[in-house]
Amino acid sequence: MKWFCKNPSIAIIAKRGSGKTILCRSLLKYFFEEDNIPVGTIISPTDSLNQFYGKKFPDLFIHEKYSPTITQNLLYRQAEMKDKRTEKKKEGKKVDHRAVMLMDDCLGKAAECKKDENLSELLLNGRHYGVTYMITLQDPLGVGPLMRGNFDYVFILADDNFKNIQRIYDNYAGIFPTKESFAKTFSALTQDYGCMVLVNRGVRNDFFDKVFWFKADMKELEPDNFRSKPFIDYHRNNYEEEYKKKARRGVGMDVMMTKQKQNKTNFDIIKK
């Protein structure tokens, strides 16, 4: 995954039971451990049931319900950090302002998502804010055509729904000359929880620069892959287990930014 561009936007198209969440966790591991992105937020309506992300990611930054406030505050946080980055640069210091946002199975509120201008801004211009944006889709047409055309990478897992396969071919797989060539390649790459990766950025004449195979390695998914000390410390000092039991919805960026303004807590990630 070292071939990723900076701050990519990524779509993961997958039906239930195809290995989608394992793939998401593998990508998060890469971004936090290898690419060293310091912070992130996850929106996952199902995490209260399976605790999939909660086992590896601070609960404080996991939201169970999508809200436009989340995207609004993420953009606010990024604008603040970009300003701090500029200030610290004058002092000869570096501030890593980057963040990851993952929306997993959030399109139950598709109508609300489509109206969220901040979400559109993240997808279309997230790289300029330092945001790596990921979204999972059970329906290949779950986002509009403008958004579909702006994903840098599309990860596609196995699907036996012929209509879905047709939609994927029509809307994402223009690199393939025929549907038959796509179907044959798709079937081969998605065996045994593998996935087809389509590169949707730049102009490349070579087919093999546009189509890749990837498979998440379960053995690599060790515990505690989130290593941003300021966010882990904030989670430990502010997360209430009793509140989780009453209404576990994750506080995340919005509360963190509010408290940061009130208490002037410094969340700079400075590399000397």
pLDDT, tens digit (0-9, with 9 covering 90-100), for 167-202: 999 999 999 999 999 999 999 999 999 999 999 987
pLDDT for res 66: 87
Provide the whole-model pTM. Answer: 0.81
Identify which of 89, 71, 70, 91 has the alpha carbon closest to the alpha carbon of residue 81. 89
Q: What is the pLDDT of residue 105?
A: 83
Tell me, which fold does domain 9-271 have in CATH? Rossmann fold (3.40.50)
pLDDT at 250: 43
Instruction: Decide if pLDDT at 101 tops 50.
Output: yes
Secondary structure of residue 3 in the 3-state scheme: coil
Tokens representing 90 are 């004058």
**Cα–Cα distance measured from residue 102 to residue 106, given in angstroms and rounded to the nearest whole number:** 10
Q: Which residue has the tokens 């290949």?
A: 140
Question: What does the domain layout of the chain look like in residue ranges?
Answer: 9-271
